[in-house]
Amino acid sequence: MNIFVILKQTFDTEEKIVVHGGEISEDGVKFIINPYDEYAIEEAIRLKELHGGQVTVVSVGPPRAAEALRTALAMGADEAVLIADGRIPADEYSLSVVLAAYLSKVSADVVLGGNFSVDQGSGQVAVRLARLLALPHVSSITKLDIADGKAQVLRDAEGDAETIEAALPALFTAQQGLNEPRYPSLPGIMKAKKKPFQQLGLNELGLSEADIAPRTERVSLSLPPQRKAGRILHGELKDQAAELVSLLRTEAKVI
């Protein structure tokens, strides 16, 4: 079974976000594997342990994303691919086209990814990728069983659960609760440090900048305003209600 995992390197969720000149500062920041992608990696390794085969992790990002790939190798992935090219924009459409260009050249039985990334939160890349590859996909899965060329999936449906069957090859995105990701072992870490992995750019994938032109543009980026101290309203209830409505309209500007 050939299993591919798409992963992203993101800010550590404990990091404080600092914005300078409309850009997020990366000075001294610790980066980690996107937490939802960790569930995907763990599930891929479990599938390999159960059915045999190979797990390949793929990331599109700057050279520093190699650290995330080596962590995945230390967890138990077999191969890693880094697609790093300064011409690739951080646009969901562009990223999905780049990943599709790579995955269309390999034979994948299962493609796994995180439900969304904690830095952007759009959850678009994997779904767009499934569309480009013409693969059935199920998002936000909390259980995955594979047998006889089919996948039996339990997915989170915003408080409820759905059971879905999909024919392989297929793409799935992992939700919290799918598994408990393992820690990399010391032997795994040592092996991962020495293991070479494939590095690709647009030229190797046969793509031009026009092929991956972004479909969205970020026009500004800023932190939310500092939270103000709360206020206590006094007087009769009807007077409090009238004052509250007035404040929501004039100060908070939410009505």
- State how beta strands 31-33 and 9-11 pair: antiparallel
Q: Which helix (H) or strand (E) holds 152?
A: strand 150-157
What is the distance between the alpha carbons of residues 167 and 197, in angstroms, rounded to a whole number? 30
Tell which CATH architecture fits domain 2-205.
Answer: 3-Layer(aba) Sandwich (3.40)
Euclidean distance between the first and the last CA atom of the chain, given in angstroms as a whole number? 55
Please determine, for residue 151, whether its predicted confidence score (pLDDT) is greater than 90. Answer: yes
Span 136-162, mean pLDDT?
94
Find, among 171, 147, 139, the residue nearest to 3 by Cα: 171
Q: Give the DSSP H/E element, type plus range, for residue 171.
A: strand 170-174
Residue 206 amino acid letter: G
Please write the tens of the pLDDT for every residue from 198-234: 999 999 999 999 999 999 988 888 888 888 888 899 9
The mean pLDDT of 155-166, rounded to a whole number, is 91
Classify residue 93 as left (phi > 0), alpha (psi -120 to 50) or beta.
alpha
Give the confidence band of 29 by pLDDT, cuts at 50, 70, 90.
Answer: confident
Residue 40: phi, psi to the nearest 5?
A: -65, -40
Mean pLDDT of 161-165: 95
Would the CA dihedral through 243, 244, 247, 248 be positive or negative? negative
Domain residue extents for the chain: 2-205, 225-255
CB 126 within 8 A of CB 236: no
- Report pLDDT for 71: 96
- Residues 180 and 178: their CA atoms lie apart, in Å, by 7
pLDDT for residue 152 is more than 90: yes
Q: What's the confidence (pLDDT) of residue 87? A: 96
Reported confidence tier of residue 48, pLDDT bands at 50, 70, 90: very high
